[in-house]
Structure 1
Amino acid sequence: MAARMPRSLGSVFTAHPARTVVMAFAAVIVVGTVLLSLPMASEGGASTRLVDALFTSTSAVCVTGLAVVDTGAHWSGFGEGVILALIQVGGFGIMTLASFLALLVSGRLRLRMQLTAAAETKSFGIGDVRKVLLGVAGTTLVVELAVGAMLSLRFRFGYGESVGEALHQGYFHAVSAFNNAGFGLRPDSVTRYADDPWVVLPLAAAVILGGLGFPVLLELLRHRHRRRTTGRRGWSLHTKLTVLTTVGLLITGTVLTCLLEWSNRATLGPFDWGDKLLLGFFHSAMTRTAGFNSVDIASMHSSTLLLTCMLMFIGGGSAGTAGGIKVTTFAVLAAGMVAEVRGEPNAAVLGRRLAPHVLRQALTVSLLGIGVVMSATLALLTMTKDSLEPVLFEVVSAFGTVGLSTGITGDLPTDGRLVLVALMFIGRLGPITLVSALALRERTRRYELPEERPVIG
């Protein structure tokens, strides 16, 4: 019998495109770490500690926003440029960017690139990868330019910033917002603009659009054209679930944040009712994994912090710049629970029956996410003297790639920072890799085992 020939490295990556995405993200993080470690990357001209450079690079590539040093004060113009580039690459998607560049240069894509780009962008087929890449690039460019222009004009004429500084501030925050990164150039994030709708609303809009996910954005943009040319009406189930769940969570987060913090003198208390609604909405939008804060997170009530943890864990839409277990996962689990309570044999939502394997995948992603959060929380509690509340908040923020913090990030020891580095990486790529792996492993069984019903509850 002939010996089995080992597969080449390329065939391994072609068979498992999600593995290529993971390796590409890791490689970019390493490059970012090296660049941020250079003396020219810091404001003082001294080399940044390797663990701090690694933490910042991971936070930028995984579009999280957690920081162990003051972004505006510590990093030089070169360092801020590196961070901005890492945010853009991480939010756009490494393999999506590589495929897009190859498409621009050669006008075509090899099969391996099409597979990896499809895995990262959740394209519905190899044939539409080209359209998806062009759509993602065009949407990113338009939103970031528009939001950057609005912010720059406000900083220039509303706050008296110079033209250069206004452009710097405006476009840095626009890129950070659309990519749900949450990096800001001020030590207090955007709290100085808390009651300024001309700043917080464009930021919130960019965050929400980026958090919907590129498949949803492209379908929304093309819906009118498709309806006119093909006569097809309505959105896909994925788009409906994403939009409806996102709107529901935004409203719920806004209402509960306002109710819980209405009289808190350290957060919403000093503002009038209109500004309180604006602040509540902005905080709810930021839990979509953005990371900007307009009030002091550490001063929030414990109930609000728990609410924020729940929203951060759910996250945003699939195949976008958001993290968390994703809103569609949450919606599918809710539909399964409702079906079980009603005693129905199949879960259904919006007039469509959900396949059993979709429910299993949603349950797997959620339970593994809970396991990762609990394990990391336990590990950090053994490494620090902080109480459970801020540690759990920090862990969920890292796993959900949010970037909100109660202020303990910079005080964590080296091993604690490495735990958060691993969490950010898992939170950004874990759901993509896990679901792709589950889909590839799906197979039919040629026999059925005897049925048994253990006692539940």
Structure 2
Amino acid sequence: MLPIARVGPGGSSLLEAIFTATSAVCVTGLVVVDTATHWTPFGQVVIMLLIQVGGLGIMTFVSVVGLSVLRKMSLRSRITAAAEVKSVGLEDVRGLVLGVVGTSVLIELCVAVVLSLRFLFGYGEPLGRALWLGLFHAVSSFNNAGFALFSDNMISYATDPWVCLPLAAAVILGGLGFPVLVQLRRYPRLPRKWVMNTRLVLAGTVVLLVAGAVYLTAVEWSNPSTLGPLGWSDKILVGFFQSVQARTAGFNSIDWGQMDSASLLGTDVLMLIGGGPAGTAGGIKITTFAVLFFVLVAEIRGEGTVTVFGKQLARSVQRQAITIVLIAVAVIAFSTVILMLLTDFSLDALLFEVISAFATVGLSTGITAAIPPGGQVVLMLLMFIGRLGPIAFASALALRQRPSAFELPIERPIIG
């Protein structure tokens, strides 16, 4: 709210400042003011620092919570888990934090160098400006925030692979999660040593990225307001880029307000699923969706147990996945109804906005700033709940397990 943070006289309003701060620290990317023209360089630095703190904080917090969950497990389970991830010790929180910070900084610097060189030599930006653009967008992309220093976000660079692909790579790496990055670094060519979490996240990421790119490109191929005027190679690039961003990043290289309703609905699904756990992505997480998928497969086959990659899935994990998904659907439905009562926007646009906020994506059809203050407060709560809620709730479910001293008689209602 300081006057030094805003272009022009005076400071930003409380709602503008707190909405932007919430969106940045929850690494979402929804905005009510133009990041490029409303905020001064000082204000933009504050936003970048909030994004960095939010991204590092989430990865560190989830990883430490994971250690806490391990300590609540039986000694045999703890030894098995530690052996699978080749942990140096369940108490090595300091090493864990340093690993998160080191990995993040290394990836961000690599992406920043590529982007800075492109802005410097490809677009003739002054050296200082090019370095700043490279650093800001590297931090924003790896942390899946989606904030951009251009008024049209990335639309001006939609067909430039030297800008879009580094951003997409950073988004994907940030969305994989720290545990997956560690295993890939240790065993890049030994998939047999990857634990179930790594295999689920990698397989799910590839499938969703490809499926999302094919779906969005096909639906929008002839849309004159989006992909229609582009050449076939540019259409593929834009379709892939937007499929990546739907995985909780939030950069847009086309106008989502002009997208077909089918594209919005398909993106809703991608946003809700999100990325990997213990990373900068949001959503219910790939692992949660994968667990439900394998439960469905086992039920259709009539199998008594759920198996994933040759291992049996604990029933407690199945219940946790079902619980998280049902709560997420309830929060999204309730929030959408509230916004429908407060605004006159279509259901497509409002549902898209709500899921984008809850899954900490940041994509929008352009209605965020036009939503009344009460609706913007709802979006802020959704960003906060979506960022911390599933993590806290899932860890609480895992930590409060207690054995039952008896079993009640079994009975079942008619299903279907």
**TM-score, normalising length: structure 1:** 0.85
The question of 1:155 aligning with 2:114 is answered no
The question of 1:43 aligning with 2:2 is answered no
The question of 1:381 aligning with 2:345 is answered no
* Counterpart mapping for 1:418-429 below 5 A: 418-429=377-388
Following superposition, the deviation at residue 233 of structure 1 comes to: 4.3
Amino acid at match of 2:415: I
Aligned to 2:75: none
Aligned to 2:85: none
The question of 1:295 aligning with 2:254 is answered yes
Aligned to 1:282: 241
The question of 1:455 aligning with 2:414 is answered yes
The question of 1:175 aligning with 2:134 is answered no
The question of 1:139 aligning with 2:115 is answered no
Amino acid at match of 1:86: L
Q: Which runs of 5+ in 1 are unaligned?
A: 1-36, 98-112
Aligned to 2:78: none
Q: Following the alignment from structure 2 to structure 1, what is the Cα–Cα distance between the partners of residues 59 and 63?
A: 9
Following superposition, the deviation at residue 131 of structure 1 comes to: 3.1
Following superposition, the deviation at residue 432 of structure 1 comes to: 0.7
Say if 1:120 and 1:342 are closer, same or farther in 2 by CA, change over 3 A.
Answer: closer
Aligned-CA RMSD value: 2.1
* Contact 2:58–2:279 (8 Å) recurs in 1: no
* Contact 1:96–1:121 (8 Å) recurs in 2: no
* Contact 1:93–1:120 (8 Å) recurs in 2: no
The DSSP-based 3-state class of the residue aligned with 1:126 is coil
Runs of 4+ in structure 1 deviating by more than 6 angstroms, as ranges, are: 120-125
Q: Following the alignment from structure 2 to structure 1, what is the Cα–Cα distance between the partners of residues 70 and 151?
A: 33
Following superposition, the deviation at residue 121 of structure 1 comes to: 12
Aligned to 2:45: 81
Aligned to 1:14: none
Aligned to 2:158: 194
Aligned to 1:166: 130
**TM-score, normalising length: structure 2:** 0.93
Following superposition, the deviation at residue 288 of structure 1 comes to: 1.0
* Contact 2:268–2:355 (8 Å) recurs in 1: yes
Aligned to 1:264: 223
Say if 1:51 and 1:203 are closer, same or farther in 2 by CA, change over 3 A.
Answer: same
Following superposition, the deviation at residue 349 of structure 1 comes to: 1.2
Following superposition, the deviation at residue 117 of structure 1 comes to: 8.2
The DSSP-based 3-state class of the residue aligned with 2:287 is helix
Amino acid at match of 1:432: I
The DSSP-based 3-state class of the residue aligned with 1:360 is helix
* Counterpart mapping for 1:24-423 below 5 A: 37-93=1-57, 96=60, 118=67, 126-223=90-187, 233-423=192-382
Q: Which runs of 5+ in 2 are unaligned?
A: 72-80, 83-88
* Contact 1:95–1:117 (8 Å) recurs in 2: no
The DSSP-based 3-state class of the residue aligned with 2:193 is coil
Following superposition, the deviation at residue 114 of structure 1 comes to: 9.5
* Contact 2:59–2:178 (8 Å) recurs in 1: no
* Contact 1:316–1:322 (8 Å) recurs in 2: yes
User: How much identity, in percent, do the aligned residues show?
Assistant: 57
Following superposition, the deviation at residue 120 of structure 1 comes to: 11
Question: 1:215-241: CA deviations, max 9, x gaps?
Answer: 11111112259x7xxxx9420110000
Say if 1:429 and 1:137 are closer, same or farther in 2 by CA, change over 3 A.
Answer: same
Following superposition, the deviation at residue 316 of structure 1 comes to: 0.4
